[in-house]
Amino acid sequence: MSGLATFLPYFKALHVVFVVTWFAGLFYLPRLFVYHADTTDSLSNERFKIMERRLYLIMSMGASLAAVFGLLMLITAPGYLSMGWLQAKLVLVAVLIGYHLWCRKLVLVFAHDANTHSQRWYRWFNEAPSLLLIAIVILAVVKPF
Ligand code: HEM
């Protein structure tokens, strides 16, 4: 092995570390929305806004670093790009990034006290990252095609 390829296992390890960080936020932020949607007192309302803003920043860092190490693997070993499982995975990752940006929009909606969704709606919204996680990890580990 030469050059960047020596680091490939480290890129993979760090990729998984930051995927975990990212998902901590993707699971917990919509949970905060569930509780926030039912909040009536202003002290809790303001506290939720701060928690949501900070969590969003941290999970965005996790997402960016997971993507950086994922892309470093693709640069190191471009052969990945011709594999079906990786292409399917990237489509689901694009959906996940869409969900992440939707969370950003909801953080801003709450920040302006303009939420219109019910607690129940957020409970359903909260399910999407689990489904994407299961599908993406199966593609990455099993590599079915
Ligand atoms: C920015 C987007 C991403 C890119 C470019 C990317 C790329 C890659 C690449 C090239 C590998 C190496 C595969 C191997 O050698 O087996 C990998 C591994 C992995 N990725 Fe990603 N990935 C991305 C996002 C994600 C996300 C969002 C998840 C989880 C939901 C994820 C979970 C994993 C896991 C668990 C592995 C380890 C697989 C194994 O070692 O068997 N990746 N990724």
Give residue limits of the domains in the chain: 3-142
Query: Residues 31-57: what's their mean pLDDT?
Result: 98
Q: Which atom of ligand 1 is nearest to 67's Cα?
A: 1
pTM (predicted TM-score): 0.95
Confidence of residue 124 (pLDDT cuts 50, 70, 90): very high
Place of tokens 């990729």: 15
Q: Which atom of ligand 1 is nearest to 71's Cα?
A: 5
CA nearest ligand 1 atom 36, residue? 140
Cα-to-centroid distance, 12 and ligand 1 (Å): 7
- The three-point CA angle 25-31-33 to 5° equals 105
CA nearest ligand 1 atom 7, residue? 70
Protein residues whose CB sits closer than 6 Å to any atom of ligand 1: 12, 15-16, 19, 66-67, 70-71, 73-74, 80, 93, 96, 133, 136-137, 140-141
For residues 139 and 70, is the Cβ–Cβ distance under 8 A? Answer: no
Q: At what angle do helices 128-142 and 84-111 cross, to 10 degrees?
A: 160
Whether 1 has a pLDDT exceeding 70, the answer reads: no
pLDDT digits (tens, 9 = 90+) for 64-113: 999 999 999 999 999 999 999 999 999 999 999 999 999 999 999 999 99
For residues 29 and 52, is the Cβ–Cβ distance under 8 A? Answer: yes
Distance CA 21, CA 123 (A): 21
